A and B are shown apart, each in its own frame.
Chain A
Amino acid sequence: MKKNEAKISKSVIDNVTFIQKSFHSNSDLVVRSVIPPLTEGSLELSIVYLGTIADKVTIQEHIMRPILQMKTISSSHPIGDITNTIEVSDIQVVSFKDAVIKHLINGQTILLLEGMDHCISADTADWKDRSLSFPQLQRSVKGPQIGFTEISNNNISLVKRYVKNPNLVIEEQTIGDETNTSVSLMFLADKVDSEILDNIRNKIQSIQLNSILDSSYIEEMICEDQITPFPLILTTERPDVTSGHILEGKIAIFCDGSPNVLIAPALFIQFFHSSEDYYEKSLFELSRLVRIFSYIISIYLIPMYIAFTLFHQELIPSELIISLASQRQMVPLPVVIEVIVFMLIFQVILESSIRLPTGITLAFSIIGTIILGQSAADAGLVQLTTLVIVSATYVLNFAVPIQPFANAIKMIRFIFVFLASIFGIYGIMLGTFVLVNHLCKLNSFGAPYLSPIAPVHIADLKDTFIRMPLKKIINTPKKYTKDDYIKKQKNE
């Protein structure tokens, strides 16, 4: 929006023309002139609002009626009198033209007074929203069953219900020249790391995007200086998870219009954590280890299969190698091609099943599972072992609670398959060296991505692989070892 620092004029008609011009005579722009029958003094005013986003009942009941029932008005302070008359809680006095426009597009009602260079803005916004429901992507068996919706203010209030603390600060700003999206940072003022906060604040302010439709736009813009498939920001749609992270001293980013809240800094290990971990019994809970294990196996299973069958048959038990060899006889394609073709087919099945209309799901599952799986093996197009290995990989991959993180290894898996088919185990190790080095170099807004594992931070390890009793982890907050990363950026 172009900066228009001009003040509004004293004439109501001029102002109304200006507003109509700014909105290009929009059909939902409602202008209503009111002249209340006063016994003393005179008042002429126009009520302006956008009919589609302002609540008409509020305007009728709490703005129009009180004004029409006014009996007197003082000539010296008409604005004060009117603000005392209107029965709306959030009222502001506005005097700049661009502020008027901004308030209108946010659903506020503007009251223009004849002869005054100020006007009144009353909050009557009524955004259409779905009602609160279960979290769609991050379901849990135990614990709160509420998820965020698309309205940022509702989401903030959900978190505020968990964290009733005066230190909980919300910083709102508007970004995106075309969409004017409101983006709010939420953090605990006494726990947040000020360097990380400054860093995130600066990055959000310097976003040069015209439109912001979802929080993922912000995620991409503030993480763009590091090229990596791994997400550097945690995305969640659960208010309890958000509260937990805020209480650890992290920063939550709410973007209006998106049910996904961003949490930064995010660590590698936290993508394996689920809110349930804290609601189930501690110490004896294996689920985190299971998730980490299955994530790692889902990278290595297919490459290992290729390396063993192509290069290191002597390492496979003899019974197994006989069974593999007898399957091999029937199959035309070399094992690498077979694996890659089936990985691609699985990827396509996943991709198409996400957006499938409910009517076709039955037909799709028959084609996808029975025909592609069973019949392909019966027809001798593919080894059964290959099918088992590839499907197991994808099943293991779903154990990770956060989807973008599970998707991060898609490409890596293909690279490992490629390396394994050239160098065998050695190639897999080469890939591992690169992968681990890459992960060690990454950092999420100054916090090393692999912390507290590498660099080792013994105090934080209590809540890493196994959750220790709450008594030990809640009252001693985690400290994120910071890199020189932020300073480096400042120097540049």
Chain B
Amino acid sequence: MHYKQTVGIIEMMFAMMLFLQGSTIILGVSLEAGKDVWLAVLSAGSAGLLLFSMYAYIWKKNDFQGLHVIFTNQLGKYLGFITSVVYSIYFAYIAARVITDFTQYINGTLLHNMLPFFIKFSIFLILIYTYLKGLEAFIRSAVIFGFFTLVFLLILPFIIVLSGIFNVEYIIPYDSIDVKQVAETVIPTLVTFPFGELIVFLALFPFIKERQSVFKGGSSVIIIFSIIYSILSFLIIGALHPDIASSYTYPFVAALEQLDTKYFIQRIDILAVIIFMIGGYFKITVFTFASIYVAKDCFSKTNINKAFLVSCIFIAIVLLSYTYSENHTMHIKVGLEIVPKYMHVPLQIIMPLIILLLTFVKTKRNKVR
């Protein structure tokens, strides 16, 4: 399979950063771990690093190819095809889930009277526009959005500490770490969301120019993001209280709402909203692109019209975004309990492990020959 290598590694790193940030910080998944949240995030980050090295290794050993080629190489023609289709649907489903997250968030905090349909429809139009402009332009735009996000996320801890909403007494004592609670948060929810979701980039990596530096770049993004994320979660817990924090729908925004900057913009949470919109847009689009690329590779030998295939995926994403979209609690429950266990773990961890094993055996066998 031939891929036009047009994307630079720095742009891809920014895109990965925005992808990881996506809905993670806003939804505050890590806050379940209470006051040991920083440890939970850091351990999830380390696990994510391991997962990412596995993905990068698989990708490298399979001649830097896309997901479909990797599956057909390792699993054979038919099984590989089925796996690719499963992944394509999986990516489309996650894209749809993020669209629902996004719509509910916009509806709940910004536009209370707007019909969800209009928000979904507008995201959908933006999605089509981005797809038509191509992957290259999309990943490049990550530099601009990523820069602003990064600046905001780096300044934010100082603002929180200086404004005095951070209460040290909520965190004391530091040394009693509830390992069980941390482990429960980390496995499987926090490892798979957002770090395990990086498997989606296996569909986009073939378009990178500097292939050798992907592992280095990707892992540094994971490390930087884990540190920022753990500091922010720690501060949010300190601002809200460990027992209450996880009961908020959007704990991050709730924490920022306590800030009163007394300047032109009274509350800084508008910036959090913008950051979330950027992250959500990137997450949705990355999943959509991945879903389309995997599907395109799958059906490249058949004479199915490409445009038809792409429109099918778009329609599928829209339809999937309507599952449980009216019921926010149900949506979050599915997202944090069912999807990680029954979708993320098999597709992000078990399946790659199998591929890794097969790759390993094959390369060994080739060497012996």
Contact = CB atoms under 8 A, between A and B. Distances in A.
Contact of B6 (A311, A425, A430, A483): A483
Contact of B262 (A317, A438, A440, A456): A317
B137 A441 contact: yes
A455 interface: yes
Interface stretch (A24-32, A336-344, A446-454): A446-454
B212 interface: no
Given A315-B266, A424-B111, A426-B277, A454 B11 contact: yes
A179 to B, nearest CB: 38
B106 A440 contact: no
A437 B122 contact: no
Interface stretch (B60-68, B244-252, B267-275): B267-275
B110 interface: yes
Contact of A454 (B129, B144, B262): B144
Interface residues of B, number: 38
A454 B141 contact: yes
Contacts of A189: none
> Could you say which of B134, B142, B270, B281 has the most chain A C-beta atoms within 10 Å of its C-beta?
B270
Interface string A102-139: 00000000000000000000000000000000000000
B131 to A, nearest CB: 10
A142 interface: no
A433 interface: yes
Contacts of B10: 455-456
Given A317-B264, A429-B274, A441-B134, A454 B140 contact: yes
Contacts of A453: 143-144
A434 B125 CA distance: 10
A189 to B, nearest CB: 29
Contacts of B129: 433-434, 437
A90 interface: no
A423 B278 CA distance: 16
> Could you say which of A425, A426, A453, A483 has the most chain B C-beta atoms within 10 Å of its C-beta?
A426
Contacts of B136: 440-441, 483
B8 interface: yes
A227 to B, nearest CB: 13
Query: Contact residue range for chain A?
Result: 20 to 34
Contact of B126 (A311, A430, A448): A430
A312 to B, nearest CB: 7
Interface string B243-265: 00000000000000000001111
A453 B10 CA distance: 11
B95 to A, nearest CB: 16
Given A315-B265, A315-B270, A437-B137, A454 B111 contact: no
Interface in A407-439: 423-427, 429-430, 433-434, 436-439
Nearest to A441: B137
B4 interface: yes
Contacts of B130: 433, 437
Given A426-B111, A436-B145, A316 B266 contact: yes
Contact of A455 (B4, B11, B265, B278): B11
Contact of A425 (B145, B263, B264, B270): B270
A429 B138 contact: no
A441 B262 CA distance: 40
Given A426-B122, A429-B278, 6 more contacts: A315-B270, A433-B129, A440-B136, A440-B141, A453-B144, A484-B4
Interface of B: 4, 6, 8, 10-11, 106, 110-111, 114, 119, 122, 126, 129-130, 133-134, 136-138, 140-145, 262-267, 269-270, 273-274, 277-278, 281
19 contacts: A316-B266, A317-B264, A423-B122, A426-B111, A427-B122, A429-B281, A430-B122, A433-B129, A433-B281, A437-B133, A437-B137, A437-B141, A440-B133, A440-B136, A441-B134, A448-B140, A454-B141, A454-B142, A456-B10
The 10 closest A-B pairs by CB, nearest first: A441-B137, A454-B143, A440-B137, A440-B140, A454-B140, A456-B10, A436-B141, A317-B266, A429-B277, A455-B8
